[in-house]
Structure 1
Amino acid sequence: MPIPARYDYTPDGSGVTAPSYAPVSWPLTFMTWTGGNGDTIPLTGDVTCRSAPAGIAVTPSPAGLGMPTYDLKNDQLPNMDGGLFRSVRATTRDITIPVLIRGVDRVSTLQLHNRLVRSLDPHRGSGWITVAEGDGIARHLECRYVSGAEGAESQDGGGFTRIKYALVFRAMDPYWYSNAERQHDWHIAKGAARPFLSNKDYPAFFPMRVSSSSFSPDGLMQVDNDSSVGSWPIWTCSGHAEGLTLENVTTGKTFRMLDDFIIQSGQTVRIDTRPGIKSVTAADGANLWPQMKADSTLWRLESGRNLVRVTAGGTNATTLVRLHYVPRYLSYVGG
C-alpha cells in the first residue's frame, strides 16, 4: 500500500520546511592514460575538434572505476546452516573504458588512433589511468591493456573520421594511488630535512606533507594516514645511527636492525616494505637483510591515526630518518 508523504513536511509541529542546502558547483572530471612508452593521452578530450584536429572522449558506461571485487574464503559447517568465515582479499581489477576518437579528417583521426594504439602495447610495461576529480585531487591506477582495440567495421563501431572502442585494462594492484606522496622526518638539526625526490616508477609525484621530530622525547610522532586502506612505507635512513628501531605503536609491530649494526655518516639504508619488494638495502644495492633482527616485521601504516616511534643510538646532526608513503584508495574518487 502506498504511504502518503511529503518531502518538505515534518511531523514535529514545525510544519512545512524550506530546503536550505545550496548545490556546490563542481568542475568536470579529467581522465588521462599514460602508456608504458611514457606518452600521456587525454581521454576526456575535445571531440568537437575546435581546439585540435582530433580528440578522444570517454563515452557513457565506463566500468570498474569504483571499489575492487573481493574473494571471500569460508568453510562449510557439517550438519549446520551456513559457513565459517576464514579470510578476504581484494582481487585483480578489470576496468572498461569506452572511448570515441574523432577527427576533422581521416588523416588526423588515424594519427591519434595510432598514437593511442602504440601507448596501449602491454609489452612496453604497465601504464597509468589517472583521474582528477572536480576537487583537483588526482588518483591513478597502474594497469595494462588487455583487449578492446581490435576494431569492429560496423556502423556503430566507427566511420571515416570516427572510431569507437571499449578498452579493457587489468590492474594487478586493485587500489588507486594518490598523485601526492606523504613524508615525515626524524632528525636533530633543522637543516637536515631535504625534499624527497620521486623515482621514475610513479608519475608526477611531489611531497605534500613534511613533518619533523627530534629523536627525543622517545622519537614519537603521530602519522595520519588518509588512505582508505593500509599503506606500505619506504624508509630511508642516513647519517650516524646505531641499532635502528622503527615501531608502529598503534599496531604493536616493530622493525629492528641488529644492535651492533651502525649506519655511518654518509651512508644510507633503504627499507622498502611494499608487497612484492620487501627489501633492506644499502645505497650501493648491497643486501642488508642479514643485519635485521629475526623478530622484525616490515609493517604497514594502517588507515587513520598511527603512532610511530623511531629510536637509534649515537645520533648526531647528520642523522636523518625519513618515512615516505603514497596513500591508497578504494575508488577513483577516494572512498
Structure 2
Amino acid sequence: MPIPATYDNRPDVGQPSDTTHTPVPWPRTFLSWTGSNGDTIALTGDLTGRNSPAGIAITKGPAGLGMPTFDLKSDQLPNMDGGLFRSTRATTRDITIPLILRGVDRTSLLQVHNRLMRALNPNTGPGWITATEGDGIARHLECYYVSGAEGSEAQENAGFTWMKMALVLRAMDPYWYSAAERQYDWHLDTGTALPLLSNSTYPGFFPMRISSAGFSPGGLVDAVNDSSVEAWPVWTAYGPFTSLALENVTTGQRFRMRDNVTVPAGKALVIDARPGIKTVELDGVNAWPQMNADSALWPLRPGTNQLRVAATGVGPTTLIRLHHVPRYLSYVGG
C-alpha cells in the first residue's frame, strides 16, 4: 500500500530546519582500481577519445559500496515471542561495478581490456578500490576479483570498439580504510621536531601525521577515531625503557610488558593489534611470552579515547609511537 505524502507537508521530527542553506557545488566521485601488479586504472574515466585512445567508465547500477552486510546471532526464546540478541558481525562484502570499455578503434579497445584483465587477476593477489569524493577525501577497500569479465558478445553487450561487463569484487575485510593514517608520538623532549610527512607505503597512501605529545608517565592524551567503527592501532616503542604500559582509560583496557622487560637504546618493540596479525615483536623476535598475563591488544573505540603511556628508565631517544588507519562503513564515511 503506498504511503500518501506531499512535498509541502513535512512531519515535525523535532529537528531545527535550515532555510538558509546554500547548495554546495560538488564534483563527481572518482573511482579507481589498483591491481596487485601496481597498475592504477581509472574506472570513472573518459570515453570521448580526446585524452586517450581508450577509456573505462562506470554505467548505471553499481552496488555494494555502502554499508556492509551484518550477520546477527540470536537465540529463540522457549514459550515466548521473539528471540534474544547475542552478537553481530560484518560479513564479507561483494561489490558489483558495471563498466563500459570504449576505444577509438579495435586495437585501443583490446589494449585497455587486456590491461584491466591483468590488474584484476586474483592469482597475483588482491587489489584496491579507491573512491575519492568531491571533497577530496579518499578511502580504499581491498578486494579480489570474482566474476563478470568472462565476456559476452550479445548485441547489447559488445561491439567492434566497445564492450560492457559487470565486475563482481569481494572484500574479505568489509570496511573502507582512510587514505591518511593518524599518528601520535610520546617522547621525552617535547621540543623535538618531527617531520610532517610519514614514510608509510601501503599502497603509497598515508601522507599525514596528525599530532604528537610529550612523553610523561602520568599524562593523558586524547586520541580521536573519527569513525563509527573501532580502529586497531600499531605501536612502535623505541628504547631505552622498562615496564611499558599502554592503557586506554576510556575503555579500561590495558597492555603491559613484564616489569623485568627492558628495551635498550637502538632497539624497538612493535605491538600490532590489527585483526589477523596480533603480534608483539622485540627487534624482530617474538616477544609475546614477555607480555603480562592480564594484557589486552585493545582497539580505539569510535570517538575520543583517553590514552595513558607509562614506562620507566626512559631517555632522550625514547619514543612511543601509535598509528592507526580509521576504517568506515561506506565509501563516503560513517
Give the TM-score of the pair, scaled to structure 1.
Answer: 0.93
Q: Are residues 1:204 and 2:205 paired?
A: yes
Q: Are residues 1:239 and 2:239 paired?
A: yes
Equivalent-residue separation in structure 2 for 1:225 and 1:204 (angstroms): 18
Residue 330 to residue 10, structure 1, CA distance change in 2 (3 Å): closer
Cα deviation for residue 209 of structure 1 reads 0.6
Q: Are residues 1:251 and 2:251 paired?
A: yes
Amino acid at match of 2:332: V
Cα deviation for residue 4 of structure 1 reads 9.3
Equivalent-residue separation in structure 1 for 2:59 and 2:10 (angstroms): 40
Equivalent-residue separation in structure 1 for 2:28 and 2:6 (angstroms): 35
Equivalent-residue separation in structure 1 for 2:266 and 2:193 (angstroms): 13
8 Å Cα contact 1:192-1:317 kept in structure 2:
no
Equivalent-residue separation in structure 2 for 1:72 and 1:202 (angstroms): 33
Residue 114 to residue 256, structure 1, CA distance change in 2 (3 Å): same
Aligned to 1:301: 300
How many percent identity over aligned positions?
59
Provide structure 1 residue ranges, at least 5 long, that are not aligned to the other structure. 12-16
Amino acid at match of 1:309: R
Q: Are residues 1:188 and 2:188 paired?
A: yes
8 Å Cα contact 2:68-2:93 kept in structure 1:
yes
Cα deviation for residue 109 of structure 1 reads 0.4
Aligned to 1:23: 23
Residue 18 to residue 33, structure 1, CA distance change in 2 (3 Å): closer
Aligned to 1:99: 99
8 Å Cα contact 2:186-2:321 kept in structure 1:
yes
| SS of corresponding position for 1:79 | coil
8 Å Cα contact 2:31-2:132 kept in structure 1:
yes
Q: Are residues 1:286 and 2:285 paired?
A: yes
Residue 123 to residue 9, structure 1, CA distance change in 2 (3 Å): closer
The aligned runs of 1:219-230 (5 Å cut-off) are: 219-230=219-230
Aligned to 2:56: 56
| SS of corresponding position for 2:285 | coil
Residue 308 to residue 10, structure 1, CA distance change in 2 (3 Å): closer
Residue 208 to residue 132, structure 1, CA distance change in 2 (3 Å): farther
Aligned to 2:275: 275
Residue 18 to residue 255, structure 1, CA distance change in 2 (3 Å): closer
8 Å Cα contact 1:232-1:274 kept in structure 2:
yes
Question: Could you give the per-residue CA deviations for residues 9-30 of structure 1, whole angstroms, max 9, x where no partner exists?
Answer: 999xxxxx99533211001110
Aligned to 2:266: 266
Question: Could you give the per-residue CA deviations for residues 239-291 of structure 1, whole angstroms, max 9, x where no partner exists?
Answer: 211000000000000000010101111111110000110000123x2101111
Provide structure 2 residue ranges, at least 5 long, that are not aligned to the other structure. none
Aligned to 1:111: 111
Pairs aligned (count): 327
Aligned to 2:89: 89
| SS of corresponding position for 1:290 | helix
8 Å Cα contact 1:192-1:318 kept in structure 2:
no
Amino acid at match of 1:215: S
| SS of corresponding position for 2:115 | helix
Cα deviation for residue 327 of structure 1 reads 0.5
Equivalent-residue separation in structure 1 for 2:160 and 2:7 (angstroms): 53
Equivalent-residue separation in structure 1 for 2:11 and 2:18 (angstroms): 11
